[in-house]
Amino acid sequence: MDDDLDQEYSCSVLGLFNDAQICYTMLPQLKSYYRYGTWKDCSPQWKEFRLCVSLQATPKKEKQEILRAHAKLKKLEKFQQRSSLDVWKLREQPLPSFPIKP
């Protein structure tokens, strides 16, 4: 936990703006449509961008606390999402047709 307090958090307005713009490009949108059947929602990228812009005039110490709390929240949200373990079933034995015999 002490490492979390020592870690310096930062955000780049230009980098986050680029991330939000890239979200709307063809490749991420088509990949999302192919995988999930819906267009990609870019609101999380814009939310990150707006947070970073709102923190530009904030004192450094307060900015660090806000970014630390935000990173912790993002980490919690990530671990609450479904993982591949929820999708795939672990086999106890190999398939009868495996390995394929010539």
Give the span between the Cα atoms of 66 and 53, in whole angstroms. Answer: 13
Which region, left, alpha or beta, applies to residue 37 given φ > 0 means left and ψ of -120 to 50 means alpha? left
Tell me, what's the pLDDT at 22? 97
Q: What does the angle CA 72 – CA 77 – CA 80 come to, to the nearest 5 degrees?
A: 130
Torsional sign, CA 63, 66, 69, 75: negative
**Which residue ranges in the chain fall short of pLDDT 70?**
1-5, 84-87
Query: Per residue in 7-22, pLDDT tens?
Result: 888 899 999 999 999 9
**Prediction pTM value:** 0.70
